[in-house]
Structure 1
């Protein structure tokens, strides 16, 4: 297939946040996720970082007409990199798959002054719960670094993440329990 695809590993796993179709489950080998900060953004962002011997689950989705403008604008702090040979999927033969990654020279570890927005994390975990179930959401935590370096800011009453989604009571309870079970520092906004 000549249509290019992207590999989503965070908010792009949540299909409520974009209209790119078709979409398929996938895994990227040689990558992990990390919470980082970039100077241009006041809050922590999630990025994929090269990590030989590791693997992350996610979603590949089509970019019809190779029109990358919407995604490139959404992911403006990231570089779009070729990951075709690193992504495992069952979507048939695909010519190209890209992954977005904050360049190493521009990323720093997340820290207290650059918290993780809970509304952002909710979107990510809602996507993993939808696509991979609870076991997949647990694997998201296990394959993501930076949980101990930045607190999670509870902005649910007034979400600051631009693509925030409504959660079911079950999703909210699962996410809250998962954060508590890992001792992740959640603070009021």
Structure 2
């Protein structure tokens, strides 16, 4: 029980699902009820990214991981555009003991819809999808696309020169999977200049 108190967990639903973007090793696939992912931007970043917002009757998958010693400083800095909120009661996980779970979210009124000046980076999306593929398989990738709102956002194809600082290289079949989904949802992909 002391460990549960000492090591709270975060629930990641974007790039934190990709274990290659962080060093939190005590991690598990999980679900959170009552939240959905949505593409947004804030004045704190020049591009759009995922946030989570309350949404009754919606459940999202992600990766939850222990924050050793409850030291949130590095993660709070990485997620500085967000606020950390408890979602312990909404989390469904395989940890096997009571743990505190938190999610990062941008409060309503502090974000806007993506636009040409604040697009989604394809290098970020690639990294997120790779994480979902590794944790949940192709079915999980499908659920990611289907339970995320805001796909009318412009997506900047920066694969030749990734602008996302934690971008991961995709295998050819992973790239095809992302591109197929972008076609299926009729995403508007624009070329980086």
Q: Which moves more between the two structures, 82-91 or 106-115?
A: 106-115
User: What does 1:23-172 correspond to in 2, within 5 Å?
Assistant: 23-148=27-152, 150-172=153-175
Q: Which runs of 5+ in 1 are unaligned?
A: none
What's the TM-score, normalizing by structure 1?
0.97
Q: Distance in 2 between matches of 1:27 and 1:40?
A: 28
Structure 1 segments of 4+ aligned residues over 6 angstroms from their partners: none
Q: Which moves more between the two structures, 112-121 or 124-133?
A: 112-121
Query: Is 1:176 matched up with 2:179?
Result: yes
Aligned length: 188
What's the TM-score, normalizing by structure 2?
0.95
Q: Which moves more between the two structures, 37-46 or 116-125?
A: 37-46
SS at match of 1:109: coil
Q: Which moves more between the two structures, 85-94 or 129-138?
A: 85-94
Q: Is the 8 A contact 2:12 2:62 kept in 1?
A: yes
SS at match of 1:178: helix
Q: Which runs of 5+ in 2 are unaligned?
A: none
User: Pairwise CA RMSD of aligned residues?
Assistant: 0.9
